[in-house]
């Protein structure tokens, strides 16, 4: 029997991210995008036996330091730096190696195409599978995993709710 996914996100961390986020909370790079990236990443983790902690943290951190909705090429680097400024919260969730993977995934998610690391592949594909929100078609040349290239899997993924397994405190931050 499959056990239910237990989120590692804390209200304290989400509050810090919410307070730091400079753009519109419900904008194209805001909370609803992050929840779709989370859904995508967790689904890819299920299929690939990936690290769900890295995927879930990536989902809420990767765009949290954007300064605009355009070509803010440094937002990934700022997000990566932000990880070290979370009062040790992430250190209590991830190992030092996992933190390095998360930092790399955040820093390079818009400036690199491919990675050999399966957890980074999952993070980047989870984000890229949500490009339709900004009117971009997903080009499979930029997709790392075979699952994210599978059209049937992606269609089924879109029907999954984005609030699946969210901690109850999320209702303080989103309206679905």
The Cα–Cα gap between 52 and 67 comes to 27
pLDDT at residue 139, as a whole number:
86
pLDDT at residue 1, as a whole number:
41
pLDDT at residue 155, as a whole number:
93
pLDDT at residue 172, as a whole number:
83
pLDDT at residue 132, as a whole number:
82
**Domain regions of the chain by residue span:** 11-165
Query: Domain 11-165 belongs to what topology?
Result: Hypothetical protein af1432 (1.10.3210)
Output the pTM of the full model.
Answer: 0.93
Residue with tokens 């990566």: 80
| pLDDT tens, residue order, the chain (176 aa) | 455 568 899 999 999 999 989 999 999 999 999 999 999 999 999 999 999 999 999 999 999 999 999 889 999 999 999 998 887 889 999 999 999 999 999 999 999 889 999 999 999 999 999 988 877 888 888 999 999 999 999 999 999 989 888 888 888 888 76
Query: According to the 3-state scheme, what is the secondary structure of the chain?
Result: CCCCCCCCCCHHHHHHHHHHCCCCCCCCCCHHHHHHHHHHHHHHHHHHCCCHHHHHHHHHHCCCCCCCCCCCCCHHHHHHHHHCCCCCCCCCCCCHHHHHHHHHHHHHCCCCCCCCCHHHHHHHHHHHCCHHHHCCCCCHHHCCCHHHHCHHHHHHHHCCCCCCCCCHHHHHCCCC
């Amino acid at each position: 029997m499959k056990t239910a996914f237990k989120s590692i996100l804390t209200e304290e961390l989400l509050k810090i991210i919410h307070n730091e986020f400079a753009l519109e909370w419900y904008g194209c790079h805001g909370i609803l995008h992050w929840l779709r990236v989370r859904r995508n990443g967790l689904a890819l983790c299920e299929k690939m036996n990936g690290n769900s902690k890295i995927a879930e943290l990536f989902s809420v951190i990767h765009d949290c330091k954007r300064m605009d909705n355009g070509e803010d090429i440094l937002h990934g680097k700022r997000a990566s730096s932000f990880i070290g400024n979370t009062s040790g919260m992430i250190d209590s969730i991830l190992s030092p190696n996992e933190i390095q993977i998360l930092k790399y995934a955040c820093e390079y998610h818009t400036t690199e195409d491919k990675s050999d690391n399966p957890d980074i592949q999952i993070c980047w594909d989870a984000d890229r599978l949500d490009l339709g929100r900004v009117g971009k078609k997903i080009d499979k040349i930029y997709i790392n995993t075979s699952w994210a290239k599978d059209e049937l899997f992606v269609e089924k993924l879109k029907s999954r709710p984005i609030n699946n397994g969210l901690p109850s405190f999320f209702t303080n931050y989103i309206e679905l």
